[in-house]
Every structure is written in structure tokens, then in C-alpha cells.
Structure 1
Amino acid sequence: MSTTAAGSTGPSVGEPTGAPPASPPTRQPLGRRALSGLSFTNIGAVYVWIVIIVVFSFWAPDTFPTWSTFQQVLNSNAVTGLMALSVVPPLAARVFDLSLAYTMSLSGVITAKVIVSTDIGAGGAIALAMGTALVIGVINGIVVVTLRVDSFIATLATGSLIQAFITMFTDGTSITGVKLLREPFASIGQKSAGGFTIPVLYLLVVAIALWFVLEHTATGRRLYATGFNSDAARLQGVPTDRLRFLTLVASSAIAGCAGVVFASQIGSGSPEAGTPYLLSSYAAAFVGATQLRAGRFNSWGTVIAVLLLGTGTVGLGLATSAQWAPSLFTGLVLIVALVVTGGRLGLRTRLTRRRAPSKEAT
């Protein structure tokens, strides 16, 4: 305590005047936090996934509820998971990249062509394919960030250019050869352990890396801030343009990796390899944005969504021979996810803008 000029004692520097001391924030009981984490609004896709499993277990009781079906869901959707994770970084920054499917196709084609036609070997072929994918990401970044072209239109245009190059490079036919079926290239996508192929491990590694960056680094927080309100983030000193640029490069790199893995799985370089993955990738990412971190595109929510979509697709394949059923299922899930995610993202954006200081206030 300090003595005032009148001889009375007054509060010392930094001591509150006329207000009770602030109490430390109380933490919710463990039971309440557990119930909140298990609520339908937090992990609704998990409950939908369980319902799908139950439905197909009754629909196809002889083939669906087996351990081999579970392995099939993971093994057949590992590449889908990689592609879905590739769209998470740009979407977190509110950027669309529609060229990812073509990047995947091109990386697989380049890898196959170099292995079959040259003596460079698998390592050199993969390095060349990944370098090409990174160049595509840089080009997308320049067009979207530097030239200020809308990302939806810009990446659709670059994707069209990539497809033209693929057609010119392959003449529209798949690249095949005995070298693609040999080690070490074949083991990249076909090697398995315990009934699970190694691409499942790639999926887990990429998911963990994205989870760490988005949830536990300053870069991740700045990336989310850019996606929620880029103007407010820029006023706070966040390098929004640089982050958007980097997300496009990162997404192209992951898509390139998926293309190499897929080429190893099928033993050829298909010019149309990535096209079927575009819709399912975005569907999984948007469904994932409703899970765990509601309103945020996140890695583990995306993985859950991939498993949900994969279970539905595999179940429909076992229960019915209709070829249109899987596409119908994926499309319906995407529409529902867009409705739910759009509402949550809109609410979060309005709240963020309401809390952000205006230019006049700063």
C-alpha cells in the first residue's frame, strides 16, 4: 500500500479500485466436458456412420459386417483421404483449388512415363513428379494471389490447361509397363501389413501433420483467421496473401503425392486418375468441417468423413449392383454438408466481424 498526499492510504499501482478481484475462470466438470465432446453437434458424422454400418449390416448381412470389409474401406479410401486432406489447407483460408484432380493425374502420368521410358529409376521419377506438382501450386498461387483472379475460376482454368498437357503427353491412353509392377515402385502403394496397405499409413501421417499445423501453431491460427475474416486478419498484421499462396502450394504437393501412390497401386499412369476424386474430396472436407471443430476445416474431421463416405460406397457396392448409387450417395452427403457447414461458417464469420475492431477504432 502507498500513502497519499493527504496522509491516507490508497491502492498501490496496478491494484483495482472499487472492484472486487477477478476470480479465475472456472473449468467445466469432466462429465459435462465429456458430454459436450460426444454431442451430436460435435461428432454427428460418427453417429451417422454408425447408423450406416447398422443399415448395411442388415441389408447385406453375409458380406458387409466382416473384418475384411473394414480393411477394404480403409485400403480403398486411403487415396481419397489424401485428396480430401489436400483441399483442407486452401479451404481453411477460403480458397478453392479445383486443379487438384488434374495435378494428381499429371503426377501419376509423369512418374509412370519416366519409369517406363528412362533409366532414371523410381526415386528420380517421383522427384520429378513432385517437383511438377509444386510448380503447379506456385502457378496457382501467382494467378490467385498475385493477379487477384477468383480462385474458383483460376484453378478451374489451370486444371483445364493441365488436362490438355496430360492428353498431349499420353495421347489419351494409360501408360503401362512391366517396370511399374516391380520393386521398389510397386511397394509404394501395394505393400501391406496386417491386411492394411501402406497408403493408410500415408493418410495418417498427413492427417497428423495437418492437425499439428492447424491446431498447434501460430501459422494455423493465422490461417483460420484469414479464412474467417481476411480484412480483420490483415489489420492485425496477418500475412493473408502469403498464407493463401502457401496453402495452394501445399495442396498441390499432397495431390501430387496421391497421384504417385495411386499410380503404384494400379501399376499404370492413367490420364483420368484424379477426376473421380474431386467430388468425394470436397464432400469429405465439407462434412469434416462440421465435426470436432465445428465451422473449421480440420484434418481429423475430414478423416471421419472419408470413412463415412467410404463405408457408404463400399456398402452400396456390396448391397446393390446399381452403378449410380455411390455417386448419388456422395452427392446427397455433399449437399447436406454444404447446408450445415455454410450456416456454421456464416455464423462464425458474423461473430468474428462483430468482435473485430474497426479501422476508426484502431
Structure 2
Amino acid sequence: MTRSPRRPPGRRFGHLLGVYGLLALAALLFLAFSLALPDTYPTLDNISAVLSNQSIPAVLALGATIPIATAKFDLSIGYGLGLAHVMAMQLIAVDAWPWPLACLVVVLGGAVVGAFNGMVVEFARIDSFIATLGTGSILYAVTGWVTDGARIVPGPHGLPAAFTDLYDSRFLGLPVSACYVVLLTALLWLLLERLPLGRYLYVIGSNPRAAELVGIPTRRYVVHAFVGSGVVVGIAGVLLAAQQRVGNPSVGLDYLLPAFVGALLGSTTIRPGRANAVGTLVAVVVLAIGLAGIGQLGARFWAIPLFNGATLLVAVGMAGYTARRQVRQRPKEPPRALPDPPKVTS
């Protein structure tokens, strides 16, 4: 029985750092802020508030992870989030729809938007950045048309308690919204890591030409990835409506950058070099710990976008470095012998 060659100590340390480095950073950040703010930071109330406040960005980051697995980017998720939460408020607070039906329609609407994005990208052959930025602008226009540029405020009776409990209730002492994040992470992990669909998405993302040669219908699976992203965006919109209880036509744009920071930073950990659900969750935890800490330290209002933007640059740089490092570490195949040239007979 032959044993696989052991990695050199330096390479083994680099591998462990790539897999668990971000998780270790989360622990170090929490320890540092706990020492700096011992009376307010390491408390159950603060942890509960952080979990609750960061649940919607986490859900949106998980939604962005699905197309990234195919090397596509959905820049419409922020605009889609704004439209989804506005539509939920419109249907429940203004049109008096039963809230379960309104939520279902919003989630299905997110799937339709995702399918449209996927078809524009794959069948119109438009780059995903440009295509989803264009569809996002259309979604923003629809949001403005629905709200006429004003907020949607519920009547004197407010929203149904069962609807707001989707966000406000607790489960096992934790905010139920945090439980949604854990459940969604588990479902995406199962989809991407254990089911054939996830393997197909990864193959398409790493080498679409090779995926076509082995018979994978790349266009269909890319559309599926965008549909999955749209469904998650619809769910996030429902949660945002239950949280804010007011329809704000411009609120979705605030979630776009944190979502991509979490998704791209997550691709540098747990499974370095590829988008993965657990890595995205770890990245969101790091962002949540950092944002809560700098907020409690009394940072100015511009510190949060500065933190998000700098972290995005670091995430993109680390993702590129990890991908290049994996390519360098792959064993090189011996060069194939070229066939002899045909003999020319006179």
C-alpha cells in the first residue's frame, strides 16, 4: 500500500492557514474587541444584536455565492433586495394580501428575475457584470415606479404579528434570523459539496470549455445558478420587510457591497480558491465582528464603508492569490510526444 507524499512543513502550514486562517482571525478579532470593550462587547445581548443585524447581509452573501461558483457575478442582488422588500410591503400593508401568499409571490418573483439574468448572460452572451448591472437598474426603476419614490408605511393596524415574527422571534435563545442563516448555509453546503449539481457548477466555473466537452449543459446550469440566487434574494427581501416594517425604495443598495465582500472573502477559506457556503458564513462572521467592534469604539460614520471597501480589495486579492497558488501546486503532466510527421513520397 503506497502512501501519499507528505507535504513539506511550510506548505502544510500554508494550507492550514488558507483553510482556517479566516476562522482564526474571527477568534482573534473577538478577543481583541472583548479586551478593549469588556463591559459591552463580550455580552450575550451584544452577540444577539450582532447576529440579528448581520443576518440579512449573510443571507444575501450566500445568494451571491451561487453564481460565483460558476465564475459569474450577480450585481443585481442589491436592487433585487430593494424591490423584493418593497413588494412585500406593498402586497401586505397596502393591498391587504395574506402575508404567506405575499411572501410566496415575492420569492417566486425573485426566481423569475434570476432566470431572466441567467438567460441574458448565457443566451445573449453579455458579460455578467454588465448584464446584471443593467437588469439591476431596471429593477431599481420598477421599485421607484411601485413606490413613486416614497416610503410605504403600514396603516394604523400595522403589519400582522405573524409576519414580523419571521424576523423578531427567537429560537433556542437566539434570533430566529440567525437560524435561517445557519439553515441556508447547510442547504447550500449540501448543494455545492455533495450533490452533482454543485460539482457541475464548480466545473463550469473552473473550465467552461471542458464542461461542455464532457457533456455538461453549461447554459442550463448557469441559469439554474442565477435562479437560486434570485430565490435567496427574495427570501432576504421578505426578512428585510419584516425587520424594517417600512418600504424604503433605496435601502437595497446598502447591502450590495457587504454581500460581495462576504462571498468573495469566503472563497479564500475552508475551500480556498472556490466559492463555498461555509467560507461565506465565516467571512460574514469576521465582518460582523469587525463592524460591531469599530461601531462600539465610536468610529465615524465613514468608517463602515471604508472597512467594507478595504476588505473587498483584500478579498479579491486573496482570492486571486489562492487561485494562482493552487495552479502552481498542481503536479505537472509530462509533455506528450508529438506524432511523427507524415512522410512525403515523391
TM-score by length of 1: 0.85
Residue matched to 2:68 = 91
1:256 and 2:238 aligned? no
- Alpha-carbon distance, 1:144 to partner: 0.5
Deviations 1:285-327 (A, max 9, x none): 1111111101010001100110100111111111114111122
**Equivalent in the alignment of 2:302:** 324
Matched, 1:281 2:256: no
Which of these residues, 56, 59, 80, is aligned with residue 79 of structure 1?
Answer: 56
Match of residue 216 from structure 1: 194
Instruction: Return the match for 1:52 from 29, 44, 47.
Output: 29
- Do the aligned partners of 2:93 and 2:159 also contact (CA within 8 Å) in 1? no
> After superposition, where does 1:1-362 map in structure 2 within 5 Å?
23=1, 25=3, 39-178=16-155, 180-348=158-326
What SS class does the counterpart of residue 252 from structure 2 fall into?
coil
Q: Which residue of structure 2 aligns with residue 20 of structure 1?
A: none
In structure 2, relative to structure 1, the CA distance for the partners of 1:231 and 1:86 (3 Å cut) is same
Q: For 1:65, give the aligned amino acid.
A: P
Q: Which amino acid aligns with 2:190?
A: F
Letter in 2 for 1:335: L
Amino acid across the alignment from 2:54: N
Deviation per CA, 1:170-197, whole angstroms, max 9, x where unpaired?
Answer: 0122212145532221111111234422
Pair 1:268–1:115, CA change in 2 (3 A): same
CA distance 1:276–1:329, shift in 2 (3 Å): same
After superposition, the C-alpha distances for 1:80-118 in whole angstroms (9 at most, x for unaligned) are: 110000011100100010001111111111111111222
Q: CA deviation at 1:169?
A: 0.9
Distance of aligned partners of 1:206 and 1:142 in 2 relative to their CA distance in 1, 3 Å threshold: same
Q: Which residue identity is paired with 2:184?
A: V
Residue aligning to 1:14: none
Query: Contact 1:130/1:253 (CA < 8 Å) preserved in 2?
Result: yes
C-alpha separation in 2, matches of 1:354 and 1:150:
32
Deviates more, 1:341-350 or 1:260-269: 341-350
Q: Distance in 2 between matches of 1:259 and 1:219?
A: 26
Q: Equivalents in 2 of 1:265, 1:98: separation in Å?
A: 23
CA displacement at 1:55 relative to structure 2: 2.4
CA RMSD of aligned residues (A): 2.6
- Cα distance between partner residues in 2 of 1:38 and 1:65: 31
Mapped to 2, the partners of 1:171 and 1:354 lie a distance apart of: 60
Aligned equivalents of 1:283, 1:81: Cα separation in 2 = 10
Q: Distance in 2 between matches of 1:349 and 1:106?
A: 41
Q: Is the Cα contact below 8 Å between 1:229 and 1:349 reproduced in 2?
A: no
Structure 1 residues 27 and 265, CA gap change in structure 2 (3 angstroms):
farther
How far 1:26 moved relative to its partner? 5.3
**Any idea what SS the aligned residue of 2:72 has?**
coil
In structure 2, give the amino acid aligned to 1:98.
Answer: L
Pairs aligned (count): 333
Paired residue type of 1:185? F
* Secondary structure class of the residue paired with 1:323: coil
C-alpha distance in structure 2 between counterparts of 1:352 and 1:268, whole Å: 52
- Given that 1:180 and 1:264 are in contact with CA atoms closer than 8 Å, whether structure 2 keeps it comes out as no
Q: Per-residue deviation at 1:47?
A: 1.8
Unaligned runs of 5+ in 1: 1-22
Q: Are 2:92 and 2:159, in contact at CA under 8 Å, matched by a contact in 1?
A: no
Tell me the amino acid that sits aligned with residue 271 of structure 1: P
**What SS is found at the alignment partner of 1:176?**
coil
Structure 1 letter corresponding to 2:88: T
Letter in 2 for 1:249: V
Moved more, 155-164 or 121-130: 121-130
Task: Tell me by how many angstroms 1:223 deviates.
Answer: 0.9
Shift of residue 350 of structure 1?
7.5
Relative to structure 1, is the Cα distance of residues 204 and 324 closer, same or farther in structure 2, using a 3 angstrom cutoff? same
Q: 1:209 to 1:37 in 2, by over 3 A?
A: farther
CA–CA separation in structure 2 for the residues paired with 1:268 and 1:353: 56
